[in-house]
Amino acid sequence: MLAFQSSESLLTQTFNLNIGLFLCIIDLVSAASASNFASIFNLPVTSSSNFTFALNIPNGSTDLNFHLSGPTDYSWIAVGTGDKMKDSLMFVVYSNAGQNNVTISPRLSSGEQEPVYSSSISLDILEGTGISNGTMTANFRCLNCTSWATGSLDLQSASQSWIYGLGPTGSMCAMLRSNSMTASIERHSEYGMFTMDMVRATGSGGLPTSYTASIGSALSDRGKTHDSNWPSIIHALSACVAFILLMPTGVAFLRIAPKSVRWHWINQTSSAVIGLIGIMIGFYLSTMFTKSQNYGSAHQILGIVILIAVLAQWIMGFSHHLMYKRYQSPTKLAPVHRYFGHVIVLLAIVNGGIGLTWSYASKSVIIGYSIVVLILGVISILLFGWSRWESRRNKKEYINPYELESFRGIGDIDGN
């Protein structure tokens, strides 16, 4: 009986051991398959971190498992289908408002402009998603991503095209932190193209546990491109320099030195042209972002008001000048032109500030702008205050520029 019992327990033990070994082998095989059945694209983007994208397609399923990770140094990170923005299905990932998790926003792109959130793309968030040690990670399953309104994925392709994009870094632009999937994103600081072996990505096992090596992927010939929002920088610089620096200088040419109407109109005409070119670039920029495409923002409306005001101001100045030349006496347009000019500069200062906050400029850029505006404002108030004080001292509330000695000979448009 005893002998029977012990041989029976021996049998049971051996059986258990075999089962254990078997399960162990299954674990090993599935661990191996976890990395086998996934394609991984790894791209070093900073000295210590990578942009990583991995894909697993479970056998016989159209559900796709995605892993996307990259440094929080970038305002957002994104991957998209295809070899260009147009018609791409994109996944944009950024920090949530609390900076303790990520927001994953599926978007569709219609061209080289901000992609638009698509509520019809269904995502399940998977374990491992979050922010840790300066890396944002998004693990998710997409239930209907093999085809969408404007395209589809080729699951049999050994070199399916993909694109990636990295948002701006913090020096010029405030970091995006939002829980909203429709949050505005700013133009990339880098983008690129790569290919992935979709066949290698197909199989059971879900997402891999390690992403250190690239598997079944390659950076395309066109590789990566550094980019910036240069139209926005040119727009901001030309509009601000023209309206906030050059136009007050034109007033100084009239009232301080060389007290010349000619210098005034040449300067004001050139700065109006520079400002108008800046505003035209503003119209081009407006086509690029969802927030600006309907021209309803305070910045755009005020900008258009300034555009009309500058044209009116130029016409007024010119008409006043022609009439003065004809009748040799000040016109009713003169005081309107005078005060309207100051209003334009003030509106432009306000609009520059609104533009900066609207386009998520960093705190340092906004502080820099405020300091420059303050310095220019103080200089203008001191100079023009002094010029007023001078004219009051001479018992004259208003000095007609054409009557000043220094205008003779150089003040007229035609030089007479």
123 binds ligand HEM (CB under 6 A): no
Closest CB to ligand HEM among residues 90, 215: 90
**Span interacting with ligand HEM, options 28-36, 49-57, 75-83, 153-161, rule CB under 6 A:** 75-83
| Residue 392 CA neighbour count, 13 Å, CB half | 6
Residues in contact with ligand HEM, counted by CB under 6 A, come to a total of 76
Query: Could you tell me which stretch among 10-18, 54-62, 95-103, 267-275 binds ligand HEM (CB under 6 A)?
Result: 267-275
Helix (H, G, I), strand (E, B) or coil at 209: coil
**Rule CB under 6 A: which of 132-151 touch ligand HEM?**
none
Out of 269, 370, 376, 380, name the contact with ligand HEM by CB under 6 A: 269
**3-state percent breakdown (helix, strand, coil) of the chain, nearest 5:** 45, 20, 35
191 binds ligand HEM (CB under 6 A): yes
Interior angle at CA 131, CA 125 and CA 137, nearest 5: 50
Q: Which amino acid is at 272?
A: A
- Interaction between residue 190 and ligand HEM (CB under 6 A): no
Question: Applying CB under 6 A, which of residues 57, 68, 174, 193 lies at the interface with ligand HEM?
Answer: 193
CB of 27 to ligand HEM, least distance (A): 36
Asked whether position 321 contacts ligand HEM by CB under 6 A, the answer is yes
Interacting positions 237-266 with ligand HEM (CB under 6 A) = 239-240, 243, 247, 251, 254-255, 261, 264-265
For residue 307, the minimal CB distance to ligand HEM (Å) is 6
Structure tokens given for 53: 């994208």
Phi, psi of 397, rounded to the nearest 5 degrees: -70, -35
Between 7 and 400, CB nearer to ligand HEM: 400
Kindly report the backbone phi and psi dihedral angles of residue 346, in degrees, each rounded to the nearest multiple of 5, phi listed first.
Answer: -65, -45
Give the gyration radius of the chain's Cα atoms: 33
Q: For 355-386, give the DSSP string.
A: HHHHTTB-HHHHHHHHHHHHHHHHHHHHHHHH
* Residues between 275 and 294 that touch ligand HEM (CB under 6 A): 279, 282-283, 285-286, 288-289, 292
Running DSSP on this structure, what letter comes out for residue 245?
I
Q: What angle in degrees, to the nearest 10, is found between the helix axes of 333-358 and 247-255?
A: 150
Q: How far is CA 184 from the centre of its chain?
A: 8
352 binds ligand HEM (CB under 6 A): yes
CB of 287 to ligand HEM, least distance (A): 9
Select from 75, 195, 202, 313 the one that contacts ligand HEM (CB under 6 A): 313
The verdict on 341 binding ligand HEM (CB under 6 A) reads: yes
CA distance 120 to 123: 10
